[in-house]
Structure formats: C-alpha cells, structure tokens
C-alpha cells in the first residue's frame, strides 16, 4: 500500500504538482433495522477507493477511482483539472504552508469489537426493544437501528508523510410514532435521526440499554398525543444535552468553520457572521460560555488521529469566557488569516476532497447540578430531543423544535408539552446563557448526518455538553 501511494504522489510531482496527497480508504459498514417486529434491513456494505489531490501553479485539482488499476489516469486527470482551475486562479495562488513529514498510526480505542458480536445477539437486543415499544397502545411505528462502521485509511503526501488510521464507530437508537386523538407524535432515544453514534465499540450500545428505555419512551410518545401544545411567548428554557448538542452544532460549529467565514461555501451551505475581524474581540455569549474543538477526546464522533492534511488532531479554544477567539480550520484556510491549522480538514469518503469540518465542538461544563438548576428556575420549559431545525446561511437566526418538553413551575418539572419550538439570534441567545450543568451531567453526542460541500459530503462529528439554561427565549412559534 505504502509503495503504491508514494508512486502516485511522485507521479503527481513529476507532472508538475507543487504538492500532492493521496488517501486510500476501505470501509465496512453493517446496518441493522427492525421495524414493527420485522427485520427489515440487514446490510453489509463495503466501499473502497483512492483520491488524489494536487496543487499545481497555485490551483487545486482532484480525481478519484475505486481501483488502483486506473491510478495513472487519475493522476493525469487531477493535474489536468488543476491546470483548468488555473483559468480562474486565486490572486497570488493558493497558499499552502509546508508541513513536516509524519509517519504514524492511529487506532480508535474500543472495548468490544462490534463486528465480532453475532447478528443473533444484535437482533435479540433490537427485537426486545421493538417489542417493549409496541406494548404501549397507539404506537403505530416502532423502529430500532444499529450501525457499525470500520474504516482503514492510508494517507501519503509529497512531504513524505505516511499515516495509517483504523477508525471504528458504533451507533444505535430507537424511535416510535404514536397515532391517535387526531395527532401524530414521535419520540426517540438516545437521540433523534435514528441513532446516537460514537467512536468506539459495542460497549456504547450496551450502555444505551435500548430495551430498558423502550417502554418509557413509548409511553411518553403516547402521552404527547393528548399533551397541551407549547404556549407562545418569551420564557426561560433549559436544553437537554441532545438538543443542546444540535444548538452548538448549528449556531457555533458551522459558524466557526473558517472556509465558510472566508466565503468558500457561499453558494451552498453559506457563509458566517463570525468574520475574521471579530476573532479575539466579539462577544459570542455570556462569560460562562466556553466552547472548544477537540479532535482527541475519547469516544467523540469527531475524534481521529490525523486530519486529511496530515495534521495531528488537537484541542483549541473557540469561545473563551464568552469571547469568540478561534476557528475550525485547515492548513489552507488557517494560512489566510495567519494562524495554524486546527486539524479539521476532512473528506467524508475517498472520492471527496477534504474541506473544513467539525471535530468535536464542545461546551465546557459549568457548576450546576441538574436538580439545582431545575429548582432554581421559577417558570420555563425543559426541552428534550430535537425534532426540527433550521438556521440562516450566516448562522444567526435559528429555529428548533423538540420532540418533547416539560413545564417548569416554581422549581419543579411539571406537565408534558408537545410541539415545542424556540427561536432566536445566535449572539443574543448565547449571551442569555446563565447556567451550565457540571461535568457529572456532561456527555458526548454524535451528529452522523452533517451535510456540507458540493458534491455533497456527509460528515460524522461530535458535541460534548451538559444541560444549560437560557433566559428570555421566544417559544411556541408554530
């Protein structure tokens, strides 16, 4: 493998590339779906190929193929495409600072290899969860899913780097839909979008205890059918960690991608209100808000050894004591503003170019216990598990809906509420964050469906957080 990859980057250099890298990926994906007691999907998917990225005369080119049989053609294409990019080249050319030659290996730490667990064991767990949900009246659809992903990834560059990474992800979840009383309601566990996913092994699935939580979730789902609708007004809200993770994702994670801030995603995902002139001075949130990116934290879905620039994963500050201080970046974009890369250059597959993606964008824990936080809240809503999401193309105006909510009255959780929504403007919202729970309540949440780029790329990223409270939030929009 190593010899083949260096042959490729050497050929690119011979044909005029000032820099070239090549990634080979081999992926194995196992997906299991049970719906209403029926095993609907039991898939084994394999996918492999390589992509060559070249910088020629200050312009990028990329080509890819599933088979090394075409490697010479792929290199020629990548160089030719880069020369075509030169027809509308960036003034002065792309700046791509030199990096050291790195030779290393990285392996995702895990306890139990999910591919070594029998299908019978997996299906038994899923069918138990499925049955528990369907014991509850009015549950029309019960769906349980598990997914496991193993990636073997090799990277070589003209700088002499050769890095092998063996990455492992495990995910699972349950969701149910209740139909009755003229309404349709849905609940999910541990997270929406079908699953909670982390790097690591089957230990994550066991920790979820899907069968043990299935009936509770189904009963809550049924109760939503006759629950009162979220009132309209301005109130205090507390976000559970799953909803807060998506709030961080949309209003911070994407906003601090430096390629967006520099306009490189303008036509599709959009740009960012956090322009480079704001770094170091702009008040993003209240003084207790500390956000950072960390590609090294164990179990994070955005955790790896090296990014696709060959830069080692690291931890850097994004918001410090409420002030915006740093971006997610790669070698190219960091150089534009005189910074160093935060090792966030990632492609979702061998046939995609790497672009700036989230790693694990985390909110540092605060000091509150969850019980004290509820007790300290006179009037408000506790919002649980995302149902809908939307944010503008500069990441300012957002609106979220959650699957469930509970009233908070006089320091106690009260009635279940349905169709809860809230909306706001990013800096105002985070400025009104006045309490964050402590590390005992802090956990990592995976977002395995983060879309960006053209052609489309779906990235797996993570967010760590604990429940947090926000004042003066508009709720009940729809």
Residues 392-411 that bind another protein (CB under 8 A): 392-394, 396-397, 399, 401
Instruction: Tell whether residue 268 is a contact of another protein (CB under 8 A).
Output: yes
Number of residues that bind another protein (CB under 8 A): 82
Q: Which stretch binds another protein (CB under 8 A): 78-86, 167-175, 195-203, 275-283?
A: 78-86
Please, what is the minimum distance in Å from the beta carbon of residue 143 to another protein? 7
Please, what is the minimum distance in Å from the beta carbon of residue 177 to another protein? 6
Please, what is the minimum distance in Å from the beta carbon of residue 90 to another protein? 4
**Residue among 61 and 326 whose Cβ is closer to another protein:** 61
> Which DSSP string corresponds to 114-145?
GGGS-HHHHHHHHHHHHHHHHTSTTEEEEEEE
Residues 6+ apart with CB under 8 A from 325: 279, 280, 317, 318, 319
* Paired tokens of 14: 């011979």
**Residue among 85 and 243 whose Cβ is closer to another protein:** 85
The single residue among 2, 95, 140, 298 that binds another protein, judged by CB under 8 A, is 140
Using DSSP, state whether 397 is helix, strand or coil. strand
d(CA 41, CA 24): 28
Measure the CA dihedral 256/421/469/258, to 10°: 0
Contact map string, positions 194 to 213, toward another protein, x by CB under 8 A: --------------------
Please, what is the minimum distance in Å from the beta carbon of residue 475 to another protein? 12
Binding residues for another protein restricted to 347-386, rule: CB under 8 A: 351-353, 355
Segments in 56-198 forming alpha helices (H): 71-85, 119-134
The single residue among 135, 209, 439, 454 that binds another protein, judged by CB under 8 A, is 454
The single residue among 320, 337, 389, 434 that binds another protein, judged by CB under 8 A, is 389
Contact map string, positions 273 to 312, toward another protein, x by CB under 8 A: x---------------------------------------
Instruction: Tell whether residue 57 is a contact of another protein (CB under 8 A).
Output: no
**Residue among 213 and 349 whose Cβ is closer to another protein:** 349
Q: Which stretch binds another protein (CB under 8 A): 7-15, 37-45, 198-206, 309-317?
A: 37-45
d(CA 71, CA 84): 20
**Residue among 353 and 416 whose Cβ is closer to another protein:** 353
d(CA 278, CA 273): 9
**Residue among 4 and 399 whose Cβ is closer to another protein:** 399
Instruction: Tell whether residue 131 is a contact of another protein (CB under 8 A).
Output: no
Please, what is the minimum distance in Å from the beta carbon of residue 148 to another protein? 13
d(CA 217, CA 190): 10
The single residue among 3, 120, 233, 410 that binds another protein, judged by CB under 8 A, is 120
Task: Give the burial class of 280: count Cβ atoms within 10 A of its Cβ; 0-12 exposed, 13-18 middle, 19 or more buried.
Answer: exposed
d(CA 291, CA 251): 12
> Which DSSP string corresponds to 262-306?
TTTTTTTT---S--GGGTTT-B-S-TT--EEEES-STT-TT--SB
Q: Which stretch binds another protein (CB under 8 A): 102-110, 201-209, 263-271, 458-466?
A: 263-271
What stretch of H or E contains 469? strand 468-475
Instruction: Tell whether residue 15 is a contact of another protein (CB under 8 A).
Output: no
**Residue among 179 and 288 whose Cβ is closer to another protein:** 179
d(CA 474, CA 478): 11
**Residue among 274 and 437 whose Cβ is closer to another protein:** 274
Residue length, the chain? Answer: 478
Please, what is the minimum distance in Å from the beta carbon of residue 417 to another protein? 14
Write out 410-459 in H/E/C secondary structure. Answer: CCEEEEEEECEEEEEEHHHHHHCEEEEECHHHCEEEEEEEEEECCCCEEE
What stretch of H or E contains 245? helix 241-248
């Amino acid at each position: 493998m190593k010899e083949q990859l260096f042959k490729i980057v050497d050929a690119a250099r011979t044909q005029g590339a000032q820099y070239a890298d090549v990634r080979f990926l081999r992926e194995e994906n196992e997906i299991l779906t049970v719906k209403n007691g029926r095993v609907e999907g039991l898939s084994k998917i394999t996918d492999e190929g390589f992509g060559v990225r070249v910088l020629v005369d200050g312009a990028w080119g990329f080509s890819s193929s599933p088979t090394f049989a075409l490697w010479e053609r792929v290199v020629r294409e990548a160089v030719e495409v880069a020369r075509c990019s030169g027809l509308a080249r960036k003034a002065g050319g792309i700046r791509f600072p030199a990096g050291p030659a790195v030779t290393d290996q990285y392996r995702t730490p895990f306890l139990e290899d999910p591919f070594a667990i029998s299908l019978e064991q997996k299906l038994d767990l899923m069918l138990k969860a499925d049955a528990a949900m369907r014991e509850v009246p009015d549950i029309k659809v019960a769906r349980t899913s598990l997914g496991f992903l193993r990636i073997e990834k090799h990277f070589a560059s003209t700088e002499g780097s050769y890095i092998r990474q063996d990455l492992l992800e495990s995910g699972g979840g349950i969701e149910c839909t209740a139909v009755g009383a003229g309404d349709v309601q849905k609940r999910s566990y541990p997270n929406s979008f079908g699953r909670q996913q982390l790097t690591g092994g089957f230990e994550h699935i066991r920790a979820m205890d899907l069968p043990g939580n299935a009936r509770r979730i189904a009963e809550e789902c049924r109760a939503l059918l006759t629950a009162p609708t979220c009132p309209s007004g301005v109130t205090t809200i507390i976000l559970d960690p799953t909803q807060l993770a998506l709030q961080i994702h949309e209003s911070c994670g994407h906003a601090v991608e430096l390629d967006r801030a520099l306009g490189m995603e303008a036509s599709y995902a959009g740009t960012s209100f956090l322009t480079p002139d704001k770094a170091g001075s702009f008040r993003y949130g209240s003084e207790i808000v500390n956000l950072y990116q960390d590609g090294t934290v164990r179990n994070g879905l955005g955790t790896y050894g090296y990014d696709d620039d060959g830069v080692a994963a690291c931890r850097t500050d994004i918001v410090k004591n409420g002030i915006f201080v740093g971006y997610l970046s790669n070698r190219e974009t960091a150089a534009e503003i005189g910074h160093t890369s935060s090792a966030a250059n990632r492609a979702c597959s061998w046939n995609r170019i790497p672009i700036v993606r989230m790693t694990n964008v985390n909110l540092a824990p605060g000091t509150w216990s969850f019980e004290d936080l509820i007790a300290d809240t006179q009037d408000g809503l506790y919002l649980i598990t995302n149902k809908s999401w939307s944010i503008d193309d500069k990441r300012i105006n957002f609106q979220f809906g959650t699957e469930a909510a509970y009233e908070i009255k006089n320091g106690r959780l009260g009635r279940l509420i349905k169709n809860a929504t809230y909306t706001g403007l990013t800096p105002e919202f985070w400025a009104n964050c006045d309490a964050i729970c402590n590390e005992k309540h802090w956990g990592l949440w995976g977002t395995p469906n983060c879309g960006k780029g053209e052609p489309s790329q779906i990235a797996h990223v993570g967010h760590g957080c604990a429940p947090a409270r926000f004042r003066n939030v508009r709720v009940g929009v729809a």
